[in-house]
């Protein structure tokens, strides 16, 4: 199981070499996209109410290598996948 690259309360402008993107959802979930190589990454969702336990992960592509940050379409797809998992699987357990 993975842990977040940055703590929950890290300032928004904090950087990490493997971090492509991060967002918080519902003041409970932390979503991060981690770089694996130039074209591939992995998104993770962590439940902050459960000591940042990993609850979801998925391999993803990084459009254009995400050299200057993630592509808007990539972020939209990642958000949809994580929200679908949280709403339709995780919260129904």
Tens digit of each residue's pLDDT (9 = 90 or more) over 43-89: 999 999 999 999 999 999 998 878 778 999 999 999 999 999 999 99
Helix H segments across the chain? Answer: 72-88
**pLDDT value of position 29:** 98
For the chain, the structural domain boundaries read 19-92
Instruction: Compute the half-sphere exposure of residue 7: CA atoms within 13 Å on the CB side of its CA.
Output: 3
Structure tokens at 23: 């967002």
The number of beta carbons lying within 10 Å of the beta carbon of residue 46 is 24
Instruction: Name the pTM for this structure.
Output: 0.92
| HSE, side-chain direction, 13 A CA sphere, residue 21 | 26
């Amino acid at each position: 199981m993975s842990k977040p690259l940055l703590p929950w309360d890290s300032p928004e402008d904090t950087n990490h070499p493997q971090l492509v993107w991060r967002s918080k959802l519902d003041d409970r979930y932390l979503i991060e996209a981690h770089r694996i190589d130039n074209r591939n990454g992995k998104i993770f969702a962590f439940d902050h109410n459960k000591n940042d336990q990993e609850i979801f992960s998925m391999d993803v592509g990084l459009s254009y290598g995400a050299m200057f940050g993630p592509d808007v379409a990539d972020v939209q797809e990642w958000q949809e996948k994580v929200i679908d998992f949280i709403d339709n699987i995780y919260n129904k357990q």
